């Protein structure tokens, strides 16, 4: 069923937003489609023509170097040199590929590409130089690219590396079209997108006096959340700041968000005190009694803040729309634009560009729709690039979460594990899903992205979680999902290894599935002479120092441990991809 058919079938139960310009935006969102790749689809990624191969990258390249990795696979399977394969970034004219999220590119795309390349290699060897190729799936052991040696594990020249260091045209902001002009959509700077806002009045006369001014555009595309905008066009990008200042826009802001107190909203202990949490990932009742580890981990909001502010170029020609964008999901952008501007999917083409950092925040349509609306008003190609201030205000954040983690250890093994968390949404994020739809998913299925990673294998455990709609726009990425819920283990391991105080803790059944380590100091002779139920006293840093995690002993007793059972720890993502962890004890 098409989305518009669904709206008609809803029988008047839909609440529509006021359409602006070419489209009408409904409260029912465009849903991303995520088909898994297979060898037949992979045949569309690799082609041979005039003695050379072209690999159409089925993923977005954003610095994870998947372009280099998949080219290695192609060259190894085709048994050709590095210089024989040209690489191009995909557009929406190829068969649909899923969004580049979840760190799944190698996991899901390597084998289909290898199978397609093997079939193409065999066809060329058999003298076939034209027409389609049929994939003949073969055992993984027969795929050359997945054998040790060769290009796999080697360090060939980084794809697009020379262009990066020499200033080549790679990013959406580098795209130049004949007659291009520059645009920006202004929105209320003091209001988050979750709060309704709109331009109330502005000084058009002052703006027109700015050299380079072209136009003010009131119908400037769909709102971002509830924030409506005011578009401006200029002959050069440097004039946009001056025009915006001259306009001196007065904004109508709906008021504070009802859930502006984010720490209180996600406080896991407050929610546990109110009763059991609504969604259970894994339910197995631990034994009664004290816990060896009982800690609180709070992970705050973090702006994605990519190095490259998002940008797009849009151009209309004869009723069709072409967009260049640094996006993690070109097909979702196409679907969103087609819906917003009342076009067929075939009338919209989105060319993916290299991305300068994304963290999940460039999966959703924002700047692309702004560029398309302004280009329609200008009658010319328009480039829109957000300012850094716009990125921090109207883009996306890692969702906040609050965790209570408890564990017991016996003879070096984790025997009981209880993890409760409260978080904002990750899959059914407020950036895409309206509040009424979130309430439905919360009641029926929860949010698998929030729960991802909570169900560690082979551990007797309870894990439960609720979701709360956040006062800002959160979206997958930068430590979302499994990265947040497994924070404790690698963080403690890093601290203890750094201080030389670690001893291994084994998983039940002897399965070391995760890098988990506890630590203890060597017990004295008198301690060793005591009952086997006594605990070796851990060597603890001074309380309150940075990086403190409650120690885990490798032996167990019933008496209270010699350190506080509960300790509150604030964890913030560090580094360009949020992969590091900074910890500050705040107990």
> What tokens does 428 get?
């059914």
Element of type H or E holding 264? helix 262-265
Residue showing tokens 């190894």? 76
- The token pair that represents 487 in the structure block: 């924070």
Q: How confident is the model at residue 129 (pLDDT cuts 50, 70, 90)?
A: confident
Give the distance between the most distant pair of CA atoms in the chain: 89
Question: What pLDDT was estimated at residue 6?
Answer: 31
Band of the pLDDT at 578, cuts 50, 70, 90? very low
pLDDT at 566: 35
Kindly list the structural domains of the chain, giving each domain's residue range(s) and its CATH number in brackets, ordered by start.
Answer: 39-166 (3.30.365.10), 172-255+305-388 (3.30.365.10), 262-303+398-585 (no CATH)
d(CA 321, CA 294): 56
584 and 570 in contact (C-beta within 8 Å)?
Answer: yes
d(C-alpha 268, C-alpha 282), whole Å: 18
The β-bridge relationship of strands 181-186 and 382-385 is parallel
Cα dihedral value 153, 154, 155, 157, nearest 10: -120
**Percent of the chain surpassing pLDDT 70:** 69
Instruction: Confirm if 382 and 313 have CB atoms less than 8 A apart.
Output: yes
Q: What's the pLDDT tens digit per position in 57-90? A: 999 999 999 999 999 999 999 999 999 999 999 9
pLDDT digits (tens, 9 = 90+) for 270-313: 989 988 787 777 667 777 889 999 999 998 888 888 999 999 99
pLDDT in tens, 94-108: 999 999 988 889 999
Q: What tens digit of pLDDT does each residue of 15-41 get?
A: 222 233 333 344 567 888 889 999 999
The answer on pLDDT for 464 being more than 70 is: no
Q: What is the pLDDT of residue 49?
A: 92
Predicted pLDDT at 3 = 40
Does residue 457 carry a pLDDT above 80?
no
370 pLDDT above the threshold of 50: yes
275/298 Cα distance (integer angstroms): 20
Residue 42 has pLDDT above 90, yes or no: yes
In which band, very low, low, confident or very high, does the pLDDT at 573 lie, cut at 50, 70 and 90?
Answer: very low
pLDDT at 124 over 90: yes
Across the chain, mean pLDDT equals: 76
Q: Which residue bears the tokens 């290009």?
A: 151
Choose among 341, 395, 345: nearest CA to 371.
Answer: 341
Instruction: Summarize the confidence of residues 154-176 as an average pLDDT.
Output: 91
For residue 410, is pLDDT > 70?
yes
Phi-psi region of 64 (alpha: psi -120 to 50; beta: other; left: phi over 0): alpha
Work out whether strand 181-186 and strand 197-201 pair parallel, antiparallel, or are unpaired: unpaired
Tens digit of each residue's pLDDT (9 = 90 or more) over 182-193: 999 999 988 888
CA distance 376 to 406: 57
What does the pLDDT average to over 437-457? Answer: 68
Residue 114 structure tokens: 């290898």
Paired with 234 in beta bridges are 182, 213
Could you tell me the pLDDT band of residue 471, with boundaries at 50, 70 and 90? Answer: low
In terms of Cβ atoms closer than 10 Å to its own Cβ (0-12, 13-18, 19+), residue 333 is buried
């Amino acid at each position: 069923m098409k989305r518009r058919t669904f709206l008609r079938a809803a029988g008047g139960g839909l609440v529509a937003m006021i359409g602006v310009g070419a489209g009408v935006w409904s409260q029912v969102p465009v849903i991303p489609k995520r088909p898994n790749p297979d060898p037949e689809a992979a045949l569309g990624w690799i082609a041979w023509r005039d003695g050379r191969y072209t690999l159409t990258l089925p993923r977005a390249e954003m610095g994870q170097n998947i372009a280099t990795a998949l080219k290695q696979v192609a060259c190894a399977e085709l048994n050709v040199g590095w210089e024989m394969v040209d690489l191009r970034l995909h557009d929406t004219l190829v068969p649909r590929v899923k969004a580049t999220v979840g760190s799944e590119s190698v996991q899901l795309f390597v084998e289909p590409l290898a199978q397609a390349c093997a079939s193409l290699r065999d066809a060329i060897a058999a003298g076939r130089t034209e027409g389609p190729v049929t994939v003949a799936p073969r055992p993984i052991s027969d795929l050359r690219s997945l054998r040790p040696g060769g290009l796999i594990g080697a360090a060939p020249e980084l794809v697009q590396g020379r262009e990066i260091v020499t200033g080549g045209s790679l990013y959406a902001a580098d795209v130049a079209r004949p007659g291009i002009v520059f645009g920006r959509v202004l929105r209320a700077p003091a209001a988050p997108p979750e709060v309704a806002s709109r331009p109330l009045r502005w000084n058009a006369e002052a703006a027109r006096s700015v050299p380079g001014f072209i136009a003010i555009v009131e119908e400037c595309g769909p709102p971002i959340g509830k924030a409506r905008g005011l578009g401006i066009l200029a002959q050069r990008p440097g004039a946009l700041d001056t025009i915006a200042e001259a306009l001196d826009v007065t904004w109508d802001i709906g008021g504070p968000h009802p859930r502006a107190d984010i720490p209180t909203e996600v406080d896991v202990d407050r929610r546990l005190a109110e009763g059991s949490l609504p969604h259970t990932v894994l339910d197995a009742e631990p034994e009664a009694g004290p816990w060896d580890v009982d800690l609180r981990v709070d992970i705050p909001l973090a702006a994605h803040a990519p190095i490259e502010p998002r940008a797009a170029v849009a151009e209309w020609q004869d009723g069709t729309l072409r967009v260049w964008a640094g996006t993690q999901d070109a097909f979702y952008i196409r679907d969103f634009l087609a819906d917003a501007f009342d076009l067929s999917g075939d009338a919209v083409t989105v060319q993916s560009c290299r991305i300068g950092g994304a963290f999940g925040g460039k999966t959703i349509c924002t700047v692309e729709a702004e560029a398309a609306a302004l280009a329609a008003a200008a009658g010319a190609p328009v480039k829109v690039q957000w300012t850094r201030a716009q990125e921090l205000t109207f883009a996306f954040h890692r969702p906040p979460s609050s965790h209570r983690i408890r564990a017991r250890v016996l003879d070096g093994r984790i025997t009981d594990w209880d993890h409760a968390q409260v978080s904002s949404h990750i899959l059914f994020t407020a950036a895409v899903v309206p509040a009424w739809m979130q309430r439905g998913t919360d009641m029926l299925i929860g949010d698998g992205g929030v729960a991802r990673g909570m169900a560690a294998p082979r551990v007797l455990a309870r894990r439960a979680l609720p979701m709360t709609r956040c006062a800002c726009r959160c979206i997958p990425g930068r430590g979302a999902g499994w990265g947040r819920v497994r924070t404790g283990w690698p963080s403690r391991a890093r601290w203890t290894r750094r201080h030389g105080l670690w001893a291994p803790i084994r998983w039940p059944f002897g399965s070391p599935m995760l890098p988990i380590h506890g630590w203890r100091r060597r017990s004295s002779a008198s301690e060793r002479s005591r009952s086997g139920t006594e605990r070796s006293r851990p060597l603890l840093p001074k309380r309150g120092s940075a990086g403190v995690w409650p120690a885990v002993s490798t032996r167990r007793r019933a008496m209270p441990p010699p350190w506080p059972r509960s300790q509150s720890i604030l964890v913030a993502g560090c580094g360009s991809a949020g992969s590091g962890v900074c910890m500050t004890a705040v107990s």
